[in-house]
Amino acid sequence: MLDVLGSLERTHTCGELREANVGDRVVLMGWVAKKRDFGVFTFIDLRDRDGVTQVVLSSEKATEAHGKAKTIRGEFVLAVKGEVVKRDEGAKNAKLSTGAIEVKVEELLVLNDAAVPPFQLEVAGSENLAAEETRLKYRYLDLRRPQLQRNIRMRAKAVKAIREYFDDRGFIEIETPILLKSTPEGARDFVVPSRIHTGKFFALPQSPQILKQITMIAGFDRYYQIARCFRDEDLRADRQPEFTQLDMEMSFANREQVYREMEGMFNHVLKLIDITLPAEWPRMTYAEAMRRYGSDKPDLRFGMELQDLSEVLKGTDFAPFADTLAKGGEIKCVVAKGKGDYSRKHLDELQEFVKRYGAGAMAWIKIGDEITSSLLKVLGEGKITELAAAAGAEKGDAVLIVAGKKSVVAASLGALRNEIARREGLIDRSKYECLIVTEFPMFEHDDETDTYVAAHHPFTSPMDEDLEMFKTAVDDQSQHHLLGQVRAKAYDAVINGYECAGGSIRIHQKDVQALNFKALGMSPESASTQFGFFLNALEYGTPPHGGFAAGIERTCMILCGTENIRDVMAFPKTASAQDLMMDSPGVVDPLQLDELGINVVEG
Ligand code: ASP
C-alpha cells in the first residue's frame, strides 16, 4: 500500500542540511539512492536534485517506519519526517555536503514504488557506467545521476547568462519560425509536409540566418535568439541532428565590433566556472592558423607548430619530394619533443594515422646518440642533419614529416599535432586558450564537381580588399579560379581547439548578393525561386550588418568538462539520429500519409 502525499510539504532539499540544523524537525522527499539494512537500524541515502541526505530508521524509536523500510528498494519515492542529528565524528562523510548530519526518521511515507532499474545509477567512475544505449533508452533514470543533473543545470545557467549579456547590451530577443523554407548552411534540410498545401513542404531551419538578416532590414538593429537548428548531416559521433545556437546580428557594425560581442559573451559565460579570459582575444588569420597549426581551430594550449622543410629540400632529386614541390605542394613536419625513442611500431601507427587524412606516407628523423631516419639512404646524413636543424629539433626529439598537397599536409599534420599532444599528455587541462580566427576563404573548391561552394554561407561578404578580384572572377569565366583566393569577412571563435562560434559581416547590397549567387553556380531563376524574397528585401534600404552564432552544446561541453555532446543535452539522439527512449523516428498512420498525399516507397 502506498501512502498519500496529502498536505505534507518539504521543509528542505536533500542537499541543504548542515550542522547548524541539528535539532530541527524536517521533512525531506526524494528517491532511495541506497539502502543499508543493519537489523535494528536501516540507513537510507535519500536523493533529490540538490544532493543526498542520510536518513536513519530504528526499530526502537519508529517501529512502524522501520517496518515499512524493509519493503523499499532503490529508486522508491519517499517522504521522511524527523529530527536532524549530528553524526558521530567517525561517521561523518566529507564527500557529502550534508555529511555532518543525518535525519532520525519518525515517520516514513512511501509515495511510490519503483521497478528494479535496468542499470545501476551510481557507480564510481564514468568508465563503470552501463552501456550508453541502455542509458539513452531509460534517459529519465540516467538523468537522475548527479553528474547529468549538474550538467543540465549548468546549461540552464549558461543560457541565462547569455540572455543577461545580450539584454544588457540592448539586443532584442526575437523568435523566428520553425516551419520555414530551406536555409542555406550547406547541410540537408529536414522537411515537413504541408497537409493544407498538399505536395508542398516546409523546411526546418538549419539556422535563422536569413530571418535574422531581415530583422536588420526591419530596423531592429540588434537581435539575438536562443535558436533551435536542424541539420540532416551525415552521422558523426559529436553531431546531433537538432541542436541549439545563440544567434545574434547587429547593424552598422564592423568586424571588430562583432568580435567584441563574441569575446564579451564568452567571457561572461565562462565566469560561471571562474575562468577569466583576456578582455581582447588574440586574432589570427585563417592563412596563419593553417600555416602554423594545420588547422582553422588551433588548440593553443600547447606549441608544436608545423615547420616548413620545403626550402631545405628545394632542388632535391628524391622523386617524391621533388614531385611534390614541382606541383606546388609542401613538405612540412612536427617535432615531437623528447620522443627520439619512438619505436618502429609506434612510428608505423602514426603513419597509419596520417594516412587517414590523405597523406601518402610519413617520413621520420630520430635524434638519439646518432641520427636515424627513414630518409637516411635517399637523402644522406648531411641533408638529414640540415632538416632536423630547420625543424628546430634537438637531441632526443623525433621529427615527423609529410609531403603533398597543401590541404593534405595541413590536415594530416594538424591532426597529428593534436594526436601526439593527447597521447603524450602535453595538454594542460586547467588552461583555457581562446582566439578569433579571421579572414576565412570565401569559397571552397569541390574537386568532384569542379565548382566553388560557399565556405561559410552565401550571405557572407568578401573582404573589401578582395571585392574587385571577386567581381572579376565572377564576370570573367577565364578568371573563375580566382574565387579560390577571395577572402571573406568571416570569423570563428575558438576555445581550446574547439570552434565555439562562427559568423560574418554580410553582403548588404543586392547586386553583390546576386553576384555571389552567380559565383555559386546558381542561375538567376533558381536564385529568384529560392531567395527572391530576400533579394527583394535587400532592395529596401539594408544597413551594413553582421553577426555570429555560438553552439550552446559546445559551450556547455567546455563548462562541464565533457567531450560527449550527449552529456549536455537532456534528450539527445544517438550518433545514428535516433531517439531510443521514444523510439523515433517511427512509422505514421497510413491515414495521416493519405491526408498528406504521401506514398512511401519501400526500399
Ligand atoms: N548562421 C551561421 C551558422 O549557423 C552563423 C552566422 O553566420 O551568424 O553557422
What is the per-residue pLDDT across 261-303, written as a single tens digit (0 to 9) for each? 999 999 999 999 999 999 999 999 999 999 999 999 999 999 9
**E strand or H helix at 78, and its extent?**
strand 77-86
CA angle 179, 185, 188 (to 5 degrees): 70
CA-to-CA dists, residue 253 to 22, 478, 505, 545, angstroms: 59, 35, 8, 6
pLDDT at 234: 82
Residue 367: φ, ψ to 5°: -105, 95
| Cα 511 to averaged position of ligand 1 atoms, centre (Å) | 22
**Is residue 548 in contact with ligand 1, taking CB distance under 6 Å?**
yes
- CA of 474 from ligand 1 middle (Å) equals 24
Q: What angle do CA 271, 272, 275 make, to 5 degrees?
A: 40
pLDDT at 184 over 90: no
Neighbours of 495 (CB within 10 A): 23
pLDDT at 538 over 90: yes
Whether the Cβ atoms of residue 557 and residue 496 lie closer than 8 Å to each other: no
Q: Among 66-70, 114-118, 163-167, 427-431, name the one with the lowest average pLDDT.
A: 66-70
Residue 110 belongs to what H/E stretch?
strand 101-112
Query: Stretch 55-64: mean pLDDT, rounded?
Result: 86
Global pTM? 0.94
Give the rounded distance of the alpha carbon of 300 from its chain centre.
Answer: 17
Residue ranges of alpha helices (H) inside 70-208 are: 132-137, 139-142, 146-168
What spacing in Å lies between the alpha carbon of 458 and ligand 1's midpoint? Answer: 11
Mean pLDDT of 203-226: 97
Q: What is the mean pLDDT of the chain?
A: 95
Confidence at residue 128, expressed as pLDDT on a 0 to 100 scale: 85
Residue 236 predicted with pLDDT over 90: no
pLDDT per residue as tens digits for the range 452-499? 999 999 999 999 999 999 999 999 999 999 999 999 999 999 999 999
Nearest CA to ligand 1 atom 1: 209
C-alpha of residue 183 to centroid of ligand 1, in Å: 11
Q: What is the bridge-based pairing of β-strands 51-58 and 101-112?
A: parallel
Mutating to test ligand 1, I would choose from 229, 233, 457, 489 the residue with most ligand atoms within 8 A of its C-beta, which is 457
209 C-alpha to center of ligand 1: Å? 6
Q: Does the structure show a pLDDT above 80 at 237? A: no
Four-residue CA torsion sign, 437, 438, 439, 442: positive
Measured by CA distance, the residue closest to atom 4 of ligand 1 is 207
How far apart CA 1 and CA 5 sit, in angstroms, is 13
Atom number in ligand 1 closest to CA 208: 1
Average pLDDT, integer, range 247-257: 98
Q: Tell me if 461 CB under 6 Å of ligand 1.
A: no
Q: What is the pLDDT of residue 63?
A: 82
pLDDT at 65 over 90: no
Q: Is 503 in the pocket of ligand 1 (CB under 6 A)?
A: yes
Q: Whose CA is nearest to atom 7 of ligand 1?
A: 503
pLDDT at 93: 94
Q: Does 549 contact ligand 1 (Cβ within 6 A)?
A: yes
Which position has the grid cell 609531403?
A: 403
Across the range 562-566, mean pLDDT stands at 94
Cis peptide before 585 (omega within 30 of 0): yes
- Listed range (225-239, 374-388, 475-489, 560-574) with the worst mean pLDDT: 225-239
Q: Which secondary-structure segment (H or E) carries 308? A: strand 307-308
Atom 8, ligand 1: residue with shortest CA distance: 548
Indicate whether 578 pLDDT > 80.
yes
511-520: pLDDT as tens digits:
999 999 999 9
Reported as a pLDDT band with limits 50, 70 and 90, residue 126 is confident
pLDDT of 555 strictly over 90:
yes
315 exposed, middle or buried (CB, 10 Å; 0-12, 13-18, 19+)? exposed
Whole-number Å distance, alpha carbon 459 to ligand 1 midpoint, is 10
Indicate the top mutation candidate among 207, 226, 258 to test ligand 1's pocket, ranked by most ligand atoms within 8 A of CB. 207
Kindly compute the dihedral angle of the four CA atoms of residues 29, 33, 34, 35, in this order, to the nearest 10 degrees.
30
So what's the pLDDT on residue 36?
A: 95
| Whole-angstrom distance, CA of residue 228 vs CA of residue 177 | 10
Which residues does 119 contact at the CB level (< 8 Å), separation at least 6? 130, 134, 135, 138, 141
pLDDT value, residue 238: 80
pLDDT for 603 equals 75
The pLDDT of residue 167 is 98
Ligand 1 touching residue 207 (CB < 6 A):
yes
Asked if residue 209 has pLDDT above 80, the reply is yes
pLDDT band at residue 9 under the 50/70/90 scheme: very high
Region 112-132 average pLDDT: 89
**212 Cα to the center of ligand 1, angstroms:** 10
3-state helix, strand, coil in the chain (%, to 5): 35, 25, 40
- Across residues 306-332, what is the average pLDDT? 95
Mean pLDDT for 137-142 is: 97
pLDDT band for 239, please (50, 70, 90 cuts).
confident
The single-letter DSSP state of residue 56 is: E
